[in-house]
Amino acid sequence: MSPSLTDLKAFLRVTHDDDDALLTRLMGSALREALAWMDDARLPAVPGPAVEVDLPEDVVQGAFLLVQADYDGDPAKREGYRKAACSLLRPYSKVL
């Protein structure tokens, strides 16, 4: 699965276009963070801006949870989103 802004907005239940630039930046950052954390040679190199990558669906969902942690802006929920993301990413990580 190659993550897209449309997929991310559906995941977050965002129906407006006002935050598209922000969501695009957050998605790029989350993908870079997830891929760097996993450090797994089976996955593509850390992407740059607008680079399409083919990732397992659970890795994409993990990255989307990292976006949600920042986009929601609720400090009380942030750690929960990040823990859920790590749970999805952990099977792909060399560091357990």
Q: The pTM is what?
A: 0.89
CA separation (Å) from 94 to 41, 62, 81? 9, 16, 21
Tens of pLDDT, residue by residue, the chain (96 residues)? 889 999 999 999 999 999 999 999 999 999 989 988 888 877 777 776 656 778 999 999 999 999 999 999 899 999 999 999 999 999 998 765
Label residue 48 exposed, middle or buried (CB < 10 Å: 0-12, 13-18, 19+). exposed
Question: What pLDDT was estimated at residue 50?
Answer: 58
Question: What pLDDT was estimated at residue 40?
Answer: 81
